Structure 1
Amino acid sequence: MNRLTQLKPHQVTKALIIFGLMISALVLWQTAYWTKQVASDEIRNRSSNTLKLVVSNLNAELQRFRALPELISADKRLIPVLNNTADAQQLRALNLELARINRVSGASDVYLMKPDGWTVAASNWDKNPTFIDRNFSFRPYFKIALQGELGTYFALGTTSGERGYFFAYPVVQANKVQGVVVVKITVEGLENKWRQAKDKIMVLDSHGIVFLASNTDWHLKLVNDLTDKEMAGIVDSRRYGDHKFEKLPIESASWDDEVLRELQLADDAGQMQRYFVEQENMPAEGWRVMLLVGADEITGRVNAALAVAALMLASLLLAIANIVQRRRRLAERMAMKDATSRELERRVEERTLALSETNEKLRNEVREREHAESELRDTQAGLVQATKLAALGQMSAGVSHELNQPLAAIRSYADNAKTFIERGNTATASENLQSIGELADRMDRIIKNLRTYARDESISMRPVSIILPLNESLSLLANRISDDGVEVNLSIPDESPVVMAGDVRLQQVFVNILSNALDSMRSVSVKMLDISVTEQADKVYVSIADSGSGVPEALREHVFDPFYSTKSVGEGMGLGLSITYGIVDQFGGKIEIDNRPQGGAIFTVILKKADLSATQALSAGTR
Structure 2
Amino acid sequence: MLLTRSYMDEASSQAGSALRLAVAALGGHLSRYEPLPALIADHDDIEALLQAPNDPALRRIANEYLNEINGLLESSDIYVMTPDGNTIAASNYEMPGTFVGQNFDYRPYFQDAIAGRQARFYALGTTSLKRGYYFSSPVDVDGRILGVIVFKVDIDSIESSWRGGEYKLFVADPEGIIFMTGSPEWLYSGILPLDAARLARTQASRRYAEAELRPLPVAESVYYGQHLMRIAGEGTTREYLRLSHYMPEADWTVNVLLDTASVRTQARTALIAILLFICLATLGLAVLWQRRARIEERLRLQEETRNELERRVDERTADLARVNEQIELEIAERRLTEQELRKTQADLIQAGKLAGLGQMSAALSHEFNQPLAAAKTYADSAALLIDRGRVPEAQDNVRRISSLIDRMASISRHLRNFARKPNEKLGPVPLPDVIADTLEIVAPRLKAADAKLIVQLSEETLIVKAGPVRLQQVLVNIISNAADAVEGLDDRRIMLSARREEDRVIVEVRDHGPGVPAAIAERIFDPFFTTKGVGKGLGLGLSISYNIIKDFGGNLSVENHPEGGAVFRIVLDIAASVRAAAE
TM-score normalised by L of structure 2: 0.49
TM-score normalised by L of structure 1: 0.46
Which structure: larger Rg?
Answer: 2
